[in-house]
Amino acid sequence: MVLAKFPRLPLAHLPTPLEPLPRLSAHLGGPRILVKRDDCTGLALGGNKTRKLEFLMAEARDQGADTIVTIGGVQSNHVRQTAAAAAQAGLSCHLVLARAVPWDEPAYEISGNVQLDHLLGAQVHLLPGGTDRGGALRRIEKALRSQGRNPYVIPTGGSNPTGALGYVACAMELEEQAGARGEKIDYLIHATGSGGTQAGLVAGFHVLGSQIQTLGIEITADAEDISTKVQTITRDTARLLGQGKPPPNEVSQVIAGYAGSAYGMPTEQMRAAVRLAARLEGLILDPVYTGKAMAGLIDLVRQGRFSADQTIVFLHTGGAPGLFGYTSYFQDE
Ligand SMILES: *Cc1c(COP(=O)(O)O)cnc(C)c1O
């Protein structure tokens, strides 16, 4: 087992379910569509960051950390899951939240994920828009060290090779589920933001010699930057796994066109996709990541990108708490 040598803390409810979406598949009239329910990882309302935190929190423990520090936007799902992991481990937690999304709805700053951050007992440092995030993070780390604390700093989205191991594990889990049911999966489609999820999946499928292709729908409105991140973390993760030959860059497919004007800014296509998944399948997506990824999936199906005999899996990476920061956007009907 390629992952056996890496310390890991069990945080997620695994394996997450792999379920068919028959009404959505029929509605779109294209390939068969399944959903991999990583929104059901269990930790404090779940999401994809929990898998990464299994490896990151184990590293923190092994380094004798007494404080976890991480960074994200005000409605960051990563930050919320990190606060929960720290609470569960009995560690203190500092969260650097950047006001990066020009979405002015009062709920955005108090509801959803940020409400949960406070509930989980984390210390929240709210940065005004335009603040140098890296600099703020380093200042907080330095201040903690000068107080005699031993902080462990997790990067944005938990996206480094250690965090990506969580998605190497997910690639293996999916292959095993598919194998056990005699399913052949052609594509795995998901939202890609800080790159660690896609990098782990690509590195994992490469190690397994799997034919599953990963399509990352980018949600940052900066496809070039995210492509570079995915490729860099994929290469470094393959190296960490002891793979002589990393996967070629071409297999890291980042698809642009569904992010809208900026990260976190809602789009009409996203709203339609969130409603469709809710009304056809009772499946709750989110406005920032999975709603935009589903909008991409729907559009790719309509463009004829997949044939009717193919099977595609939508990786539900979580994020539903973020819906509550966008209440007004979903109200007018
Ligand atoms: C963080 C996040 C993603 C993107 O994962 P990355 O590893 O950052 O690319 C997708 N969906 C949700 C809900 C997230 O919180």
- What's the number of domains the chain is made of? 2
The atom number, within ligand 1, closest to the CA of 216 reads 9
Residue 2 lies in a domain: no
* Ligand 1 contacts CB of residue 247 (under 6 A): no
Alpha helices in 147-286 (DSSP H): 161-181, 196-208, 223-240, 268-281
Confidence (pLDDT) at 181: 94
Give the range of the structural domain holding residue 298, as residue numbers without chain letter: 18-48+159-331
To test the pocket of ligand 1, the residue of 317, 323, 326 to mutate (highest count of ligand atoms within 8 Å of its CB) is 317
Per residue in 122-164, pLDDT (tens digit) is 999 999 888 899 999 999 999 999 999 999 999 999 999 999 9
Residue 68 lies in a domain: yes
Q: Whose CA is nearest to atom 1 of ligand 1?
A: 157
Q: Are residues 199 and 305 in the same domain?
A: yes
* Ligand 1 contacts CB of residue 289 (under 6 A): yes
Q: Are residues 66 and 53 in the same domain?
A: yes
Confidence (pLDDT) at 274: 98
Residue 260 lies in a domain: yes
Q: Are residues 127 and 271 in the same domain?
A: no
The atom number, within ligand 1, closest to the CA of 167 reads 7
Q: Are residues 171 and 82 in the same domain?
A: no
- The closest alpha carbon to 162, from 11, 8, 316, belongs to 8
Residue 12 lies in a domain: no
Among the candidates 157, 174, 195, a domain finishes at: 157
Q: Are residues 41 and 54 in the same domain?
A: no
* Ligand 1 contacts CB of residue 194 (under 6 A): yes
Q: Are residues 141 and 163 in the same domain?
A: no
Residue 327 lies in a domain: yes
Active site residue 210: no
- Span from the CA of 160 to the centroid of ligand 1 (angstroms): 13
* Ligand 1 contacts CB of residue 317 (under 6 A): yes
Among the candidates 141, 157, 173, a domain finishes at: 157
- Span from the CA of 192 to the centroid of ligand 1 (angstroms): 6
Residue 22 lies in a domain: yes
Confidence (pLDDT) at 333: 60
Alpha helices in the chain (DSSP H): 22-28, 49-62, 77-89, 112-119, 133-146, 161-181, 196-208, 223-240, 268-281, 290-302
Q: Are 162 and 56 in contact (CB under 8 A)?
A: yes
Confidence (pLDDT) at 140: 97
The answer, as to whether pTM is greater than 0.95, is: yes
To test the pocket of ligand 1, the residue of 35, 74, 197, 222 to mutate (highest count of ligand atoms within 8 Å of its CB) is 197
User: How far is Cα 296 from Cα 62, in angstroms, rounded to an integer?
Assistant: 40
User: How far is Cα 58 from Cα 48, in angstroms, rounded to an integer?
Assistant: 17
Q: Are residues 134 and 38 in the same domain?
A: no
Q: Are residues 260 and 203 in the same domain?
A: yes
Residue 24 lies in a domain: yes
The parts of the chain modelled with pLDDT lower than 50 are: none
Q: Are residues 24 and 69 in the same domain?
A: no
Among the candidates 157, 185, 202, a domain finishes at: 157
CATH number at residue 106: 3.40.50.1100
Burial letters 139-167, b for 16+ CB under 10 A, else e: ebbeebeeeeeebbbbbbbbbbbbbbbbb
Residue 245 lies in a domain: yes
- Span from the CA of 290 to the centroid of ligand 1 (angstroms): 8
- Span from the CA of 148 to the centroid of ligand 1 (angstroms): 33
- Span from the CA of 225 to the centroid of ligand 1 (angstroms): 15
* Ligand 1 contacts CB of residue 48 (under 6 A): yes
Q: Are residues 100 and 196 in the same domain?
A: no
Confidence (pLDDT) at 332: 72
Q: Are residues 36 and 144 in the same domain?
A: no
* Ligand 1 contacts CB of residue 193 (under 6 A): yes
Amino acid at site 155: P
Q: Are residues 173 and 260 in the same domain?
A: yes
To test the pocket of ligand 1, the residue of 74, 159, 194 to mutate (highest count of ligand atoms within 8 Å of its CB) is 194
